[in-house]
Amino acid sequence: MFDSFLDCKCGNNLLDYSQRAKLGSDLRLYIPWLEKIKFENVKEKLQIWDKIVFEVVEDGKLLSKIGLKSYLEFEKQGIKYAIFANHNVALYFLWKNFLETGEKLDLIHIDQHSDLREPYYYPAKLKSIEEIIQYTFKGVNVGSYLLPAKRYFVNEIYQVRTQFALRNLDKDFVKGKILNIDLDFWAPGMATCLEDLHYLKNLLPYSKMVLLATSPYFLDQELAIDLILKLLEC
């Protein structure tokens, strides 16, 4: 599933589209293959690929970012996990969880950004896998997927965007909720540290589902993989 290119003027590819065209971009973003694996294979499968998954213009120059070779889906101690690059892909996994359980869960959003911008549009329905894949990659971008998630698939959204807010989470609050984590929370220059990662690691077993975005625009992917391995104790 996936393993394709986003080559329309839509989704993340719409960002700086005209400027990128003038600078010689081929205006295509890679969508990696989605693999369902066992937890013990996570370390082996977490690899960086040479295809561009996110691209914008900064200071008049193309900023092209590569990401993961494949997106990963697995379970650990009965908890669902997914690892992917651009954070809008969380929408697909939220839909899948809702489809499997019929339950709208609360979501804790741990990120330097709110991701609460308005999407390009709201679809009339999101029932088939084809509809959710189309909408995940074409109807929203990295900063605009949470409002559709709340409309269709999740209950309440709790924003955790500072070290203080993270340290105020506890197992009772996390219990039964989705943890939607952007690894850019630990990007260089941010007011967070590895101790915060350890604190979060101890909360994972109380959640119902964990989504991990490596955010190529904000974070070196080698660092993102290292953070994931520490977080999951791989």
DSSP, residue by residue, 170-223: -HHHHTT-EEEEEGGGG-TTSS--HHHHHHHHTTGGG-SEEEEE--TTTS-HHH
* % of the chain surpassing 70 pLDDT: 100
Cβ-contact 135, 216 below 8 angstroms: no
- Number of domains into which the chain is organized: 1
Q: What is the residue range of 98's domain?
A: 70-232
Q: Is residue 186 part of a domain?
A: yes
pLDDT at 191: 62
pTM recorded for the entire structure? 0.96
List, for residues 173-222, the tens digit of each pLDDT value.
999 999 999 999 998 877 677 788 999 999 999 999 999 999 999 999 99
Q: Is residue 119 part of a domain?
A: yes
**What average pLDDT is seen over the chain?**
95
Instruction: Look at 21-25, 109-113, 124-128, 230-234 and tell me which has the smallest mean pLDDT.
Output: 124-128
* % of the chain surpassing 90 pLDDT: 90
Q: Is residue 113 part of a domain?
A: yes
- Cα distances from 212 to residues 18, 164, 220, 228, in angstroms, run 30, 20, 15, 8
Q: Is residue 35 part of a domain?
A: no
Q: Is residue 36 part of a domain?
A: no
Q: Is residue 17 part of a domain?
A: no
Report the CATH number that the domain containing residue 172 is assigned in CATH.
3.40.800.10
List, for residues 26-65, the tens digit of each pLDDT value.
999 999 999 999 999 999 999 999 999 999 999 999 999 9
pLDDT at 1: 82
Distance of CA 200 to the CA centre of its chain: 17
pLDDT at 190: 73
Q: Is residue 141 part of a domain?
A: yes
Q: Is residue 124 part of a domain?
A: yes
